[in-house]
Amino acid sequence: MLLKYWPEQTNLKFMNLRLIGAMVSALMIAASVFFLGTRGLNFGVDFAGGTVMELEQTDTITVEAVRAAMPLSAEVNSAVGTDARSIVVVKFGEADPAALGEAFQALPPAEQAERATGATNELVVRVLKEALGISDDQFLRNDSVGPKVSSELFRDGITALVVALVLMLAYIWFRFEWQFSVGAVAALAHDVIITLGVFSLLQMEFNLTTIAALLTIIGYSMNDTVVVFDRVREEKRKYKKMPDRQVIDLALNSTLSRTLLTSGTTLLALLAIFFLGGPVLRGMSFALIWGILIGTYSSIFIASSIVLALGMDLNKKPVEDVQGFQGAP
């Protein structure tokens, strides 16, 4: 319907803008590294350890009352929870061993270190139940992660990202040429670094679901890049004499309406999660929304520019028709 009004053949000279793109990206990466170095990431309990509690806010359970009752220093804030419920969010680390009782202090130091988080959590639950009469069901959420697990989760998260990048590199190498896989993975690394930079700048909570979002961004950005690369390869084989730069521009233009449509629909779906899915999914959907914007940008300006810079030598390799895949003429 409306797509009829989209011009049949756009002819935007993306590759003329590649230096500007490179500069913008270099700036964004520099800024990201700067923010990551100075402000760092706002790690959630998954990676930082400690406890986060969400309490149902009532007349008796208020920020002031909880703050007054807390037996150790804690961050206590009011927030809007899932489904517009008013909640009190309590964040804290480990209490002083003296507050955790004699049985705890009798433990060997290594065991104390590992148990402190859990013991503090128990102490706080007990104190809050006594002081404010909170029932079990009013502890909407109570997550406490010890130092061992939080460092493991962080390590596993980073491993997942690196393994994903390496496998993508291998797959693109297998399906295309090495220039393409370098371009694709550089674009992915670009996306991940800049997304981390945004998380650092806005100090949004960085947790396990954020890692999941980063991996999805990698998948999505890859998806976008592959579609463009597929076209580049096809056009290159069709117009053997055409300069690389024009080939890439042609491919980018002919996939442009698809790129915009797919990003558009995915963004619509994600905006619905961001605004309606509640606070648990907010960080994740924010990362995904940002990732789709940056992923679309990077497949045009980073991945393609790198392929252009490295040059294509598609004609050296004999073209095979692999069953199930459509080879080029």
Partner 1 sequence: MLQFPPWKVALILLALAWGVVMALPNVVNMQNAPGFMPKKGVNLGLDLQGGVYLMMEINPNEVIANRLEVFAGDVRGALSNVAPSERIGHIPEVKGRELEIKLTRPDADGNFPLDEALRRIRKLNGPVEGAIGGAKTYEIEPRGNDTIIVTVPQASEEALMKDALGKTMTIVRRRVDPDGVSEISITPQGNSRIILEAPGEPDPQRLKDLLSRDGKMTFNLVDNSPSAIAAAQRGVVKPGYRLLEGSTTGPLLVRTIPEVVGSDIANAAQGFDEANRPQINFRLNSNGARKFYNTTRSNSGKLFGIVLDDVIMSAPRINEPIAGGNVRITGDFTQEEAQDLAAIIEAGEMPAKVQFLDQRTVSPTLGHDSIRAGTRASIIGLVLVAIFMIVAYGLMGGLAVASLAANIILILGALSGLGATLTLPGIAGIILTIGMAVDANVLVFERIREEQRAGRSPMTAVQAGYERALSTILDANITTLIAAVILYLLGSGPVKGFAVTLAIGIVTSVFTAFVVTRWFTVMWLKAFRPKKLAV
Residues 164-183 close enough to bind partner 1 by CB under 8 A: 164, 167-168, 171-172, 175
Task: Print the binding letters for residues 96-135 with partner 1: x by CB under 8 A, - otherwise.
Answer: ---------------x--xx--x--xx--x----------
The answer to whether the beta carbons of residues 300 and 14 sit under 8 Å apart is: yes
Using the rule CB under 8 A, give the single segment among 26-34, 94-102, 142-150, 194-202 that binds partner 1: 142-150
Among the residue ranges 23-31, 238-246, 282-290, 310-318, the one whose residues contact partner 1 (CB under 8 A): 282-290
Q: Considering beta carbons, is residue 95 or 211 the nearer one to partner 1?
A: 211
| Phi, psi for residue 73 in degrees, rounded to 5 | -70, 135
Q: Which of 13, 68, 148, 202 binds partner 1 (CB under 8 A)?
A: 148
Considering beta carbons, is residue 21 or 44 the nearer one to partner 1?
Answer: 44
Distance CA 226, CA 228 (A): 5
Query: Residue 288 interacts with partner 1 (CB under 8 A)?
Result: yes
Candidate segments 158-166, 193-201, 296-304, 308-316, binder of partner 1 by CB under 8 A: 158-166
Say if strands 42-43 and 205-206 run parallel, antiparallel, or are unpaired. parallel
Among 75, 130, 156, 313, binds partner 1 (CB under 8 A): 156
d(CA 243, CA 228): 17
Q: Give the nearest distance from C-beta 112 to partner 1 in angstroms.
A: 11
User: What is the rounded distance in angstroms from the CA atom of residue 54 to the CA atom of residue 128?
Assistant: 12
**Long-range own/partner contacts, residues 21-24 (CB < 8 A, 24 or more apart):** 21/297, 21/300, 21/301, 21/302, 21/305, 22/301, 22/302, 22/305, 24/301
Between 143 and 244, whose beta carbon lies closer to partner 1?
143
Site for partner 1 in 197-256 (CB under 8 A): 208-209, 211-212, 215-216, 218-220, 222-224, 226-227, 230-231, 254-255
Residue of the chain from 153, 187, 302, 306 that contacts partner 1 (CB under 8 A): 153
* Backbone phi, psi, residue 52, to 5°: -130, 130
- Does 139 help bind partner 1 (rule: CB under 8 A)? yes
Nearer to partner 1, 55 or 65 (CB): 55
Go through 125-146 and write b for each residue having 16 or more CB atoms within 10 A of its CB, e for each that does not: beebeeebebeeebbbeeebbb
Name residues contacting partner 1, limited to 7-66 (CB under 8 A).
Answer: 8, 54, 56
Count other C-beta atoms under 10 Å from residue 23's C-beta. Answer: 10
CA distance 37 to 40: 6
